[in-house]
Structure formats: structure tokens, C-alpha cells
Amino acid sequence: MILPLLQIAAIAIVAVYLGRWRAGVLRRNAQSWETLVARLRADWSARDLSEHFLWKEGLDANPDETWTRLQGAHGLWAMYQNARVMLEMADYAERNCESVDRELIEALRSDAMQIRVCVLMALAKYAFSQASEGVRVNAFRAATLYTGMAARMTRLLQENAALVLPDFVAAM
């Protein structure tokens, strides 16, 4: 008697999961450039990381200065969330733009995943040891990757969605 109930419950759980997953895919595919750019975190800007971070890669600071410019964990979390949005922007470009550079899309995906891993490592270390050297190094690495990703995303938008580029620059 219990085995059939467990089977029904397992099937129901899988069905609900697949339904939610399908709804998420449909919602993601219905997004536009404008809605994606609007999802970028407006309460934190990476402008302090580098003078021209949207146009060239690299930082103008050492790990200690970068940690200060990030505003600690607040900036790390903003980078984490913005990396996801920029990853979705890359996916959108691949789905909807015929002339998109595939290598650029792959670089953006790689950057987003590396940023997210670095940020999670830095936040985990920060939770246990505050702003130790390891936290600052991971934050510096994440910020370096973030400036590179922002520069590549700017290039992608210049080539494929020039109309939303001013909104992207303002949001970053």
C-alpha cells in the first residue's frame, strides 16, 4: 500500500519540477534585451574598479584596494547577480542574433561561471574569516574576470544590439 503512494508522490514531484522548469524556459525565452538590461543591479556600480572597465579589461588596483572599491560582500554579491544576467544576455544573443560571434559567447559563459565560483569562494571565506588575504585575492580575481566580461558584453552589444548599449553602460 505504501509503495504505490510513494511512486505516485515521486511522479508528482517530478511532474511539478518539469512544469516549473518548462515555465522558466518559456519565461526566459520571452525576455528582450531591454528587460535583461533592466535586471542588472542598479544599487552597485563597478565603475570604481577600473576607469575604463567597459572598454578594456583589467583593474587599476591591487587586491586590498579592490576589496575596498567593491564595498566588501555587497559588491561581490552584485557581481554574482550581474554575471547571471550577462550570461542570460549571451544566451539571448545566441538564440536571436544570426551574426553573433560564437567564441565571444563561449568566453562570456566561461567568465560568468568563473565569476560566480570566485564570488562564492570569497563569500564563504569571508563568512569565516572576515576580510582575510584569501578573501581579497578571490575578490580581486572575480573583479578582474568581471571587468573582462563587462568589456566583452559591451562588444557583443555594440555588434548586435547597439540601441540598448547606453542603458547597459548606465546600469554598469
Amino acid found at 58: G
Q: Could you tell me how many residues make up the chain?
A: 172
Measure the CA–CA gap between 48 and 78, rounded to whole angstroms.
Answer: 14
Looking at residue 126, its pLDDT comes to: 85
| Per-residue pLDDT at 166 exceeds 90 | no
- DSSP per-residue codes, 26-68: HHHHT--HHHHHHTS-SS--GGGT-TTTTTS---SS-HHHHHH
Measure the CA–CA gap between 109 and 84, rounded to whole angstroms.
Answer: 9
Looking at residue 54, its pLDDT comes to: 67
| Per-residue pLDDT at 29 exceeds 70 | yes
Check residue 128 and report its DSSP letter.
Answer: H
Residue 107 CB partners (closer than 8 Å, separation 6+): 152
Looking at residue 81, its pLDDT comes to: 92
If one compares 120 and 69, the residue with the highest pLDDT of the two is: 120
Measure the CA–CA gap between 39 and 32, rounded to whole angstroms.
Answer: 11
CA 56, chain centre distance (Å): 18
If one compares 131 and 69, the residue with the highest pLDDT of the two is: 69
- Taking the CB of residue 12, how many other CB atoms lie within 10 A of it? 10
Confidence band for 65, pLDDT divided at 50, 70 and 90 = confident
The most confident of the ranges 32-36, 39-43, 137-141 is 137-141
In 3D, which of 136, 130, 148 has the Cα closest to residue 70? 136
Confidence band for 113, pLDDT divided at 50, 70 and 90 = very high
Average pLDDT in the chain? 83
Confidence band for 53, pLDDT divided at 50, 70 and 90 = low
Measure the CA–CA gap between 162 and 60, rounded to whole angstroms.
Answer: 27
Mean pLDDT score, 84-94: 87
In 3D, which of 56, 87, 72, 85 has the Cα closest to residue 138? 72
- Taking the CB of residue 59, how many other CB atoms lie within 10 A of it? 19
Query: pLDDT tens, 123-156?
Result: 888 888 766 777 888 888 888 888 888 888 888 8
| Per-residue pLDDT at 64 exceeds 90 | no
Confidence band for 114, pLDDT divided at 50, 70 and 90 = very high
